[in-house]
Chain A
Amino acid sequence: MTTAVSFRPRDLVVNEDGTGHLVGSRCPTCGAHYFPTRQVCAGCLTEDLETIPLPTTGTLYTYTVVHRSTPAFETPYVLGYVDLPGPVRVMGQIDAEPDDVEIGMTVELEIVPWGTDEEGTPLLGYRFAPGGER
């Protein structure tokens, strides 16, 4: 059996135990956080940004239920913007029924199967599920 791998290794690290985290940049000078990673800080133009694991628990800023998408995605699904400590905002699908989703709720990153690549290798992606400790 082929081991599953991250769908976007630059953005998402998956550990052997099935946990994982998103990958961002942190500016050592002004403290700004970025996702995806950047080469230079947009705030102070510092060039030596640190690549860091982003926190896995955050707050839902807003969301929608998507009914029409590209062929790669089965609809409907809940999509949201999550503010992680940093602070930094990331987009992800929300693993919940639409009626159970509300702005301001606490959500936690989860690693989930994400189809396969062109060679049939299983991929892992991420979603956010309600719950988690802030």
Chain B
Amino acid sequence: MTEVYVIGIGMTEFGKHPDRTAADLGAEAVRGAIHDAGIDPRAIETAYAGHVFQPMVTGQQVLAQVGLAGIPLANVENACSSGSTAIRGSFIDLLAGVADVSLAFGTEHLTGAFKGAFTPGEDDPEAAVGATMPAVYAMRARRYMEEFGLTREQLARISVKNKRNAALNPLAHFKKDVTIDDVLMAKPIAEPFGLLDCSPVSDGAAAVVLATGDWVRRHGEQSRAIRLRASALRTGKVETAPSSMTFEELTRDTANDAYEAAGVGPEDIDFAEVHDCFTIAEVLRIEGLGLWEQGTYPAAVERGEADLGGRLPVNPSGGLLGKGHPLAATGVAQVVELVKQLRGDAGSRQIDGARVGIAHCRGGKAAGVEGAACTVQILTT
């Protein structure tokens, strides 16, 4: 079985970049990843580019910027899972023997493309009656409150935790701590959410270079290489009957694919980067991944178990709530954080003894479907 390693990571600062483009940001991240890998760029044989609201063939524009035009590249759109799906493209190329070295990146100039609340696709029947993404998650939060006694303050603590981590991440969109009161007093978006329960509209890009174990050994790049054990992808099923909105079967099923491929279980995970597009989303992801029992994660956050230094740190990078959420860049940036932690290069937010990390991304919404695209990746030292 071919082993796959992440040998290079690159990422721009996330935030508002009014004078830049997706291609320009993407090129910065790709150059960073190539320099980090310390390889001759001509070793890269294939590439995958994730982007959602950007011009067509943005991926080729990035390659043209960095001198790599000519190699096979596919542009990938899977909503917020676009970047992580791009990584899966590279992963499969290596497993299939199509390439020894492959590049995956995600880039998004979101402030230039978009303002206000996200909605499902324009033609969706739910968008037609006023669905927004915050509203959909707010409804799940309301139901979770009803079933499990989740409090408004417990939700707020997730935002406080992730923004505290972001304040330790020089590339994060938010660089300041917030208090529970700040979260509770923020302007309302979709009840119970205020502005600080929602991930911000950010620009940014992230990139990774993957290589096979054989290539890594031949080129003596082992010391900083981090093993990518699994890269699972699923689409949400059409519901044959209304299902619980307080437990994510899609996350569970995708995670089970990843656990099986990686030969690890939830009990082996040391830390997690999950798709916290909204505060409740972190709860649903973590419980879907099997890292905490359904209904128990909010109280665990209250006890500090998911803090840096806690039993199982969640979103050490700051997550989407703190680091920012340039859609397609998000899934790649999660893997960038996993690699930094597993290399022991995460600076003031380093998790002691991190050996197994999991990254979860989930994107998109359509009426009658549990969620559009979900990815789970597992990395180990």
| Contact indicator per residue, chain B 229-245, by CB within 8 Å of chain A (1) or not (0) | 00000000111111001
Residues of B contacting A71 in the complex (Cβ-Cβ under 8 angstroms): 116
Q: Is the CB of B242 within 8 A of A83?
A: yes
Residues of A contacting B138 in the complex (Cβ-Cβ under 8 angstroms): 64, 66
Interface residue B142 (Cβ < 8 Å from any Cβ of A) = yes
The size class of the interface chain B forms with chain A is 20 to 34
CB A68 to nearest CB in B, in angstroms, measures 5
Bound-state CA distance A88–B368 (Å) is 9
Q: Is the CB of B129 within 8 A of A125?
A: yes
Q: Which of A63, A70, A125 contacts B139 (CB 8 A)?
A: A63
Bound-state CA distance A21–B181 (Å) is 44
Assess A35 versus B116: contact at CB under 8 Å? Given A68-B132, A89-B239.
no
Bound-state CA distance A70–B139 (Å) is 18
Of B187-195, B250-258, B335-343, the segment with at least 4 beta carbons within 8 Å of chain A is B187-195
| Contact indicator per residue, chain B 137-154, by CB within 8 Å of chain A (1) or not (0) | 011101100100000000
Residues of B contacting A41 in the complex (Cβ-Cβ under 8 angstroms): 240
Q: Is the CB of B238 within 8 A of A81?
A: no
Q: Is the CB of B146 within 8 A of A103?
A: yes
| Contact indicator per residue, chain B 106-129, by CB within 8 Å of chain A (1) or not (0) | 000000000011010000011011
Q: Is the CB of A79 within 8 A of B139?
A: yes
Q: Is the CB of B238 within 8 A of A63?
A: no
CB B134 to nearest CB in A, in angstroms, measures 7
Residues of B contacting A38 in the complex (Cβ-Cβ under 8 angstroms): 238, 368
Interface residue B130 (Cβ < 8 Å from any Cβ of A) = yes
Assess A87 versus B125: contact at CB under 8 Å? Given A35-B367, A65-B191, A67-B190.
no
Assess A87 versus B129: contact at CB under 8 Å? Given A65-B191, A69-B117.
no
Assess A34 versus B132: contact at CB under 8 Å? Given A62-B139, A62-B245.
no
Interface residue A122 (Cβ < 8 Å from any Cβ of B) = no
Q: Is the CB of A32 within 8 A of B367?
A: no
Interface residue A92 (Cβ < 8 Å from any Cβ of B) = yes
| Contact indicator per residue, chain B 244-268, by CB within 8 Å of chain A (1) or not (0) | 0100000000000000000000000
Q: Is the CB of A42 within 8 A of B237?
A: yes
Interface residue A4 (Cβ < 8 Å from any Cβ of B) = no
Q: Is the CB of A36 within 8 A of B241?
A: no
Assess A91 versus B190: contact at CB under 8 Å? Given A62-B146, A69-B132.
no
Residues of B contacting A63 in the complex (Cβ-Cβ under 8 angstroms): 139, 142
Interface residue B131 (Cβ < 8 Å from any Cβ of A) = yes
Bound-state CA distance A70–B119 (Å) is 8
Bound-state CA distance A110–B130 (Å) is 16
Bound-state CA distance A79–B190 (Å) is 9
Interface residue A105 (Cβ < 8 Å from any Cβ of B) = no
Residues of A contacting B192 in the complex (Cβ-Cβ under 8 angstroms): 64
Bound-state CA distance A63–B245 (Å) is 12
Residues of B contacting A33 in the complex (Cβ-Cβ under 8 angstroms): 241
Bound-state CA distance A34–B238 (Å) is 9
Assess A77 versus B241: contact at CB under 8 Å? Given A64-B142, A68-B117.
no
Interface residue B346 (Cβ < 8 Å from any Cβ of A) = no
Task: Among A8, A87, A89, find the residue whose CB has the most chain B CB atoms closer than 10 A.
Answer: A89
Within 8 A of B (CB), among A52-100: 61-73, 77, 79-81, 83, 86-89, 91-93, 98
Q: Is the CB of A70 within 8 A of B132?
A: yes
Residues of B contacting A7 in the complex (Cβ-Cβ under 8 angstroms): 128
Q: Is the CB of B188 within 8 A of A61?
A: no
Interface residue B74 (Cβ < 8 Å from any Cβ of A) = no
Residues of A contacting B242 in the complex (Cβ-Cβ under 8 angstroms): 61, 81, 83, 87-89
Bound-state CA distance A8–B126 (Å) is 11
Interface residue B66 (Cβ < 8 Å from any Cβ of A) = no
CB A90 to nearest CB in B, in angstroms, measures 8
Q: Is the CB of A66 within 8 A of B135?
A: yes
Residues of B contacting A92 in the complex (Cβ-Cβ under 8 angstroms): 129
Residues of A contacting B126 in the complex (Cβ-Cβ under 8 angstroms): 91
CB B263 to nearest CB in A, in angstroms, measures 31
Query: B246 — nearest CB in chain A belongs to which residue?
Result: A62
Q: Is the CB of A11 within 8 A of B125?
A: yes
Query: A27 — nearest CB in chain B belongs to which residue?
Result: B240
Q: Is the CB of B130 within 8 A of A93?
A: yes
Residues of A in contact with B (beta carbons under 8 Å apart): 7-8, 11, 30, 32-36, 38, 41-43, 61-73, 77, 79-81, 83, 86-89, 91-93, 98, 103, 125-126
- Can you list 22 A-B contacts with CB-CB less than 8 angstroms, sorted by A residue number? A11-B125, A34-B238, A36-B125, A36-B368, A42-B239, A43-B240, A61-B242, A62-B139, A62-B142, A62-B245, A63-B142, A64-B139, A64-B192, A65-B188, A66-B132, A66-B134, A67-B187, A69-B132, A83-B242, A91-B367, A93-B129, A125-B128
Q: 4 extra interchain contacts, Cβ-Cβ under 8 A, other than A38-B238, A64-B191, A66-B138?
A: A34-B238, A34-B240, A35-B125, A62-B143
